[in-house]
Structure 1
Amino acid sequence: MALESIERSGVTHFPAHYSGPTLGEVGEHRAIEEIVTVAPSTRNGDDAAVLSHASPNSRAVATTDMLIEGRHFRVDWSTPEEIGQKAIVQNFADVEAMGARPIAALLAVSAPPHTPLSFIRGIAAGIAQRVGEYSAELVGGDLTSGDDLVLSVTAIGSLGGSRPALTLDRARPGQQVVAHGRLGWSAAGLALLTRFGRDGVPEDLSALVDAHCAPHLNPGRGVIARATGATSMTDNSDGLIADVGTIARLSGVGVDLDAAALAPDELLVRAGRLLDADPWEWVLAGGEDHALLCTTAGAPPSGFRPLGRVVRGGRDHDVTVDGAAPAYGHGWVSF
């Protein structure tokens, strides 16, 4: 979330409708049983997950990311199912951005003892939904007591075939920059939540809130892009200019984006009008949409659309829009 950080202070207060026993009352083993019941796996071993041996000419891909209550989500804004979905998408998007196929996830949770068991079950249900969309599984994890609600997901993927992984340093002048997924919706949703809270957002703008609380990525697009000749790829997590700029810097090139291809859609324009905000800031600097951004020498892969082109480096800016410095170039940083 590049525009503003979610803030929370004090003890986590869960919505009243998550009633029933708490983690402190049922204990660790009962809570783990609840997670496994909701998100079962045939590969979850006694002490560690047992994964199938990778097929010949393939490599394993692994990544990890954390969500901290009050920084990455709020329990009065997001349902536990949405929190679980978000945790998977932000990790599986990183696997997809390498051109790999997600196959498994591990979940570690630190939660206060007063956390309702039903809330943890909801997180597991959201995770089960998202991993199921990828034909992947939640294969294990850890649960411990802590002062704050923290989720850490480790995603494991498989990179098949002999083509190179889609690293950030292989963009070349003359290639296209293409994208799969929406840009700016998550940041607009955060801005709406910050102003109105979950219940106060106008119904006609609720899709923007959904994009922030539970982002979605069509499974398999990273694999398709790699199979059809993409060279570099990342996901839009820190902001479009920031993430495309990383590809540009590491590849030693520049990127010129097409303003017409980036123009805020009708929903973003309406939200900007309501909030007296510039929707271009959400598009260029918002982040957390987890749209896939890649470079390719050929036609855009299926499901991708052109955003601009790779040019020779040496300009004052790594990334330009219609040849000029972007109006917004900042992005999300943790410190």
Structure 2
Amino acid sequence: MTTIGEIGEDALIALFAPRLPETDAEILGPGDDAAVVAVDGHLVVSSDVLVEGRHFRREWSTGADVGWRAAMQNLADIDAMGAVPTSLQITLCAPSDLDVDWVLDFADGLREACEPHGVGVVGGDLSGADQIVVSVTVLGETHGTEVVTRADAHPGMVVAVSAPLGAAAAGFALLDAGVDAVPEASQLFKRPRPIVGAGLEAALRGAAAMMDISDGLLRDAGRIARASEVGIALDSAAVPVHPAATSAAAALGVDALRFALTGGEDHALLAVFPSVSSVPPGWEVIGEATDAFAGVRVDGQVPDAVGWDHFSR
């Protein structure tokens, strides 16, 4: 094993940079003080972070898994605005005894996730740290269309999700319990597969409010409710549960619906549409916006748990 401390920063960059994905939006990429990126329409920017021991564990996830996840959760944020992701800035902090191969695998995971969507890594930074921390800034563009925020849902509109939910949360539960029963669920926690482009389609079909489900359906529905000053009434029987979550729940002896309602990191999209007819094919209608109450209710009841909170555990 060769560590990053043994070869040094410049040698690591020389190995790492050629493995990164490229984008047609890049005018000036890695190697200078800043990147230069072309933009069509408005610039849309988001950021996220992955911390070892909190968001991933090396005994579960390869460097490529972490690279994939770092990319996908950020592409989903841009898609949730109805915009098109173009490029990433990646900052990697790591201990000096980290294997060089882990870093190269991380770059490979970024490339595997980004290349099908024409997204490139245009720059970033490297730093020493006591544990691995990955910080990502993602850039996107609107191509002249209006962005979709969380704030324009109105009573009477319908609420829908872009994909079945719960697989990532189920996969985490399996890994945390040391149960190797449903590999698909575990893999979807390590490598979420959002449908990049679903948000743009939703925007073009008139979505009034939208966001990426990263912290759980109930918590994120509550965010739309607050931003739009409406209530969100959900029908539990209509919430699509991923088959891998159902299988994992059976193996763990728990309720699969719980994974779908409160488990995050599937990175499917939650959106509010003017009517059922405006909901894109493949999406599932799960409720409606209302002025009868504030916040979120499931089958008419206030839920006893809503999902992930970064500072509560």
- Which residue type is aligned with residue 47 of structure 1? D
Q: Does structure 2 retain, via aligned residues, the 8 Å contact 1:287–1:332?
A: no
Report the 3-state secondary structure (helix = DSSP H, G, I; strand = E; otherwise coil) of the residue aligned with 2:208. Answer: strand
**Number of the residue aligned with 1:248:** 225
- Which residue type is aligned with residue 23 of structure 1? I
Unaligned runs of at least 5 residues, structure 2: none
1:27 is displaced (CA, Å) by: 0.5
**Number of the residue aligned with 1:168:** 150
Q: Does structure 2 retain, via aligned residues, the 8 Å contact 1:175–1:309?
A: yes
TM-score by length of 1: 0.87
**Number of the residue aligned with 2:298:** 321
1:303 aligns with 2:282: yes
**Number of aligned positions between the proteins:** 305
**Number of the residue aligned with 1:12:** none
- Which residue type is aligned with residue 165 of structure 2? L
- Which residue type is aligned with residue 216 of structure 1? R
1:94 is displaced (CA, Å) by: 1.0
**Number of the residue aligned with 1:47:** 33
**Number of the residue aligned with 1:219:** 196
How well do the aligned residues superpose, as a CA RMSD in angstroms? Answer: 1.6
Q: Does structure 2 retain, via aligned residues, the 8 Å contact 1:241–1:331?
A: no
Q: Does structure 1 retain, via aligned residues, the 8 Å contact 2:163–2:240?
A: no
Unaligned runs of at least 5 residues, structure 1: 1-19
Q: Does structure 2 retain, via aligned residues, the 8 Å contact 1:177–1:306?
A: yes
Report the 3-state secondary structure (helix = DSSP H, G, I; strand = E; otherwise coil) of the residue aligned with 2:64. Answer: helix
Q: Does structure 1 retain, via aligned residues, the 8 Å contact 2:159–2:271?
A: yes
Report the 3-state secondary structure (helix = DSSP H, G, I; strand = E; otherwise coil) of the residue aligned with 1:24. Answer: helix
**Deviation by residue 1:274-312 (Cα, 9 ceiling, x = unmatched):** 212222221111111111101111421243221111111
Report the 3-state secondary structure (helix = DSSP H, G, I; strand = E; otherwise coil) of the residue aligned with 1:151. Answer: strand
C-alpha distance in 1 between matches for 2:118 and 2:296: 36
C-alpha distance in 2 between matches for 1:180 and 1:266: 15
Q: Does structure 1 retain, via aligned residues, the 8 Å contact 2:16–2:107?
A: yes
The 5-angstrom pairing of residues 1-335 of structure 1 reads 20-41=1-22, 43-45=28-30, 46-52=32-38, 54-55=39-40, 58-163=41-146, 165-196=147-178, 200-202=179-181, 205-262=182-239, 264-298=241-275, 299-315=278-294, 318-326=295-303, 328-335=305-312
**Deviation by residue 1:46-80 (Cα, 9 ceiling, x = unmatched):** 2221212x23xx10011111101000000110111
C-alpha distance in 1 between matches for 2:104 and 2:232: 44
1:34 is displaced (CA, Å) by: 1.7
TM-score by length of 2: 0.92
- Which residue type is aligned with residue 314 of structure 1? F
**Deviation by residue 1:11-62 (Cα, 9 ceiling, x = unmatched):** xxxxxxxxx311001110111122211115364152221212x23xx10011
Q: Does structure 2 retain, via aligned residues, the 8 Å contact 1:285–1:330?
A: yes
1:162 is displaced (CA, Å) by: 4.2
Runs of 4+ aligned structure 1 residues displaced above 4 Å come to none
